[in-house]
Amino acid sequence: MNNDNIIIRLARPDEAEHVAKLIMTAMTEECCLWFCGKDHDIGDFHKVMTELVKQEDSQYSFLNTLCAVDSHDNIVGILTSYDGGRLHELRQRFIEAAKMAWGIDHSNIPDETGPGELYLDSLAVEPSSRGKGIASKLIEASVDKARKMGLPFTGLLVDTSNPRAEALYTRLGFRVEGTNQWGGHPMRHMVKLTSNR
């Protein structure tokens, strides 16, 4: 499979289980378990995420998720992104689901984005499809999405312990703007100016 055979399209509700799995790959199992607490396992987290992907007004919604698919329409990667100005509104579904499913209140999570930025929340590529430019293709499609939405920046958080990912983002024109905490991990906030071609 080469990059030329990859098509970028919007996710569908019937793909929620697979999309949720890939979002969790982006989050890392450690972060997922941190969010659901010691009394719950990764399967419990997956159930909640699957429901959030199916919803239209969640930050993890299928409507916010671009899929990279191969010539057989199999998902080989995803990138979930949304207008940072809508973070609190979109995050509300996660906060409600966490309270109901795990009895944990995450309403005090630090903001990872803000107005004027298309926030790249979750990027993951299937292990068998890595190293083929799929992540770059998804990021480029998302920067184009930001441009069409009229948002001046595209931004993301990268774990400070993931220099490989940071190198990819730097190569694609992102620069470090500051630091943050997310899922119990120190992060770097990186942004790219979204300019018209």
Half-sphere exposure of residue 9, counting CA atoms within 13 Å on the CB side? 14
Distance of CA 183 to CAs 36, 79, 127, 148, Å?
A: 11, 18, 23, 30
pLDDT band at 24 (very low <50, low <70, confident <90, very high): very high
pLDDT band, very low/low/confident/very high, at 2 (cuts 50, 70, 90)? low
The model's pLDDT over 4-17, given as tens digits with 9 standing for 90+, comes to 689 999 999 999 99
pLDDT at 182 (0 to 100): 75
Q: Is the pLDDT of residue 196 over 90?
A: no
pTM of the complete model: 0.92
Residue 135 · residue 100 · CB < 8 Å: no
pLDDT exceeds 50 at position 1: no
pLDDT band at 159; cut points 50, 70, 90: confident
DSSP code of 84? G
How far apart CA 196 and CA 103 sit, in angstroms, is 45
Give per-residue burial for 163-188: e unless 16+ CB within 10 Å, then b.
eebbebbeeeebeeeeebebbebebb
Q: In this predicted model, what pLDDT tens digit does every residue of 56-77 receive, in sequence order?
A: 999 999 999 999 999 999 999 9
The dihedral over CA atoms of 139, 144, 145, 151, expressed in degrees to the nearest 10, equals: 110
Has residue 93 got a pLDDT over 70?
yes
Do the bridges between strand 65-69 and strand 75-83 make them parallel or antiparallel, or are there none, so unpaired?
Answer: antiparallel
The rounded mean pLDDT for the chain is 93
pLDDT tens-digit map of 124-157: 999 999 999 999 999 999 999 999 999 999 999 9
Q: How confident is the model at residue 186 (pLDDT cuts 50, 70, 90)?
A: confident
Neighbours of 160 (CB within 10 A): 12
**Bridge partners, 193 (sequence order):** 153
